[in-house]
Amino acid sequence: MCAGLLLMISAILGMLVYMSHSMFSTGRYLKHLEYEVCYVRNFTDVDDKIIARAKQLGEDPLSLSRRYCEEFHKDMTFLRCLPPSVEPRVSDHMPQIISMIIQILENGCAYIVDGDVYFSVDKSPEYGRLSGRKSEDNRAGERVAVDSRKKNPADFALWKSSKEGETYWDSPWGPGRPGWHIECSAMSAAYLGYSFDIHGGGMDLVFPHHENEIAQSCAACSSSNISYWLHNGFVTIDSEKMSKSLGNFFTIRQVIELYHPLALRLFLIGTHYRSPINYSDLQLESASDRIYYIYQTLQDCVDFLKQQNIELQEKTIPGDILNCINKFQNDFVSAMSNDLHTSDVLAALYDPMRIINDLLNTRKGKKQALRAESIAALEKSIKHVLTILGLMPSSYSEALQELKQKALHRLKLTEDEILQKIEERTSARNNKDYERSDAIRKELAAKGIALMDNPDGTTWKPALPPVPSP
């Protein structure tokens, strides 16, 4: 398969942690299927909110936007998101935006009022087809601005005449700037054409933003079409939408101060992208614990296989192991092909991970024929899927150490303090003071530190602290 697949997602500056996780694994998975993917992620770097914020800070709006764009890029790097093929910004595409507005006007679907240009919703007979809204639902004063100059209260601005002191661009209708909706249509048409495969964004953009995009794109070109719309659900806190206006939000940067970025990524893709995600410390702790388990298991595989001398071939893999791998791969493809059910993929990891641990640690597993070949094949299969999900670290051992450091930071502990407790416990065990030994273990467990005894001594790892009784 090598047909081109085109993606687009909009990024509004000041984006919170509920960014569109629909795109977290989409590009990697489509490339895995051997599509040639052109991924466009455009920036809205000029709009009413940015202008108001820049005025409040005494800063140039475009300078403010550039600063936030740079911070956004850092966050996407932390979360292992693939960079887009192209990343247009509104401020660099005024000619394309103005050209599209002219085309809409020439096609009789817009009108000019005092230097403003409005799209005429009445000229779009299928308006509402994405959201399912009817024209009578668009009552003035609710989702659309009240403006007596409009022919229909639902009409929306394609071009806004500039107010004194605002950033502006020259146009056939006078100085001004584009409305929010037109910029996305113009930039997607510039890089993907009027018809492309996938358009992503938050669920709150279905109406009016994406509905308006469809209307104006079809008004500019009657053959305009988008095959699939991916709308992600919101991150909620106590079942309430996370938002700046409510003051109940966390930025990505704040979260990864306490949790490993890959734990945050696992948390986000642990829920189907169309569903809401309930943010809580417990959920992040659980994601961190789960990804630690995954990386520790795979690190144990690497350590074990270093001591082996095997040449991995399919014919050397036992039938039951091969069946497990095939099932895992089939479950992966089935889940991802069914509207990107990443949560089902993570659930499918359970069996191969369990079998690896059995082979590494149990008496029965250690006696299995072709044990090393089985472990190598399972590790390879899991690594392949983690890579496509964007969960593959550069080094298991480094990721494990980083996860431990984040846990220490959350718990306000140092490793020296834990090692001192381990020494105290070892001394108590040597003196047969098992009551003291157990007390130390329980004390650390209550804080979220688990101890593991082995022939070489005692080690520690982060663990989920016990849930307090109600």
pLDDT digits (tens), the chain, 470 positions = 345 566 665 544 333 333 344 456 888 999 999 999 999 999 989 888 888 888 899 999 999 999 999 999 999 999 999 999 999 999 999 999 999 999 999 999 999 999 999 999 999 999 999 999 876 665 444 444 567 889 999 999 999 999 888 889 999 999 999 998 999 999 999 999 999 999 988 898 999 999 999 999 999 999 999 999 999 988 888 677 777 677 777 888 999 999 999 999 999 999 999 998 888 889 999 999 999 999 999 999 999 999 887 776 767 899 999 999 999 999 999 999 999 999 999 999 999 999 999 999 999 999 999 999 999 999 999 999 999 999 999 999 999 999 999 999 999 999 999 999 999 999 999 999 999 999 999 999 999 999 999 888 999 999 997 776 65
CA distance 177 to 22: 30
CA distance 178 to 94: 8
**Tokens read off for 457:** 């001594």
Angle at 405 between CA 287 and CA 400, to 5 degrees: 60
Asked whether 67 and 157 are in contact (CB, 8 A), the reply is no
The neighbour count for residue 447, using CB atoms within 10 Å, is 17
Coil, strand or helix: which one is 240?
strand
Asked whether 190 and 90 are in contact (CB, 8 A), the reply is no
End-to-end Cα distance, the chain: 55
Q: Exposed, middle or buried by CB within 10 Å (0-12, 13-18, 19+), for 244?
A: exposed
> 129-137 long-range contacts, Cβ below 8 Å, gap at least 24?
129/214, 130/206, 130/207, 130/210, 130/211, 130/214, 130/229, 131/206, 131/207, 131/210, 131/211, 133/207, 133/211
CA distance 329 to 380: 11
What is the value of pTM for the model shown? 0.91
Angle at 330 between CA 21 and CA 286, to 5 degrees: 45
Asked whether 300 and 360 are in contact (CB, 8 A), the reply is yes
Whole-number Cα distances in Å, 107 to 120, 149, 308, 321: 11, 21, 72, 63
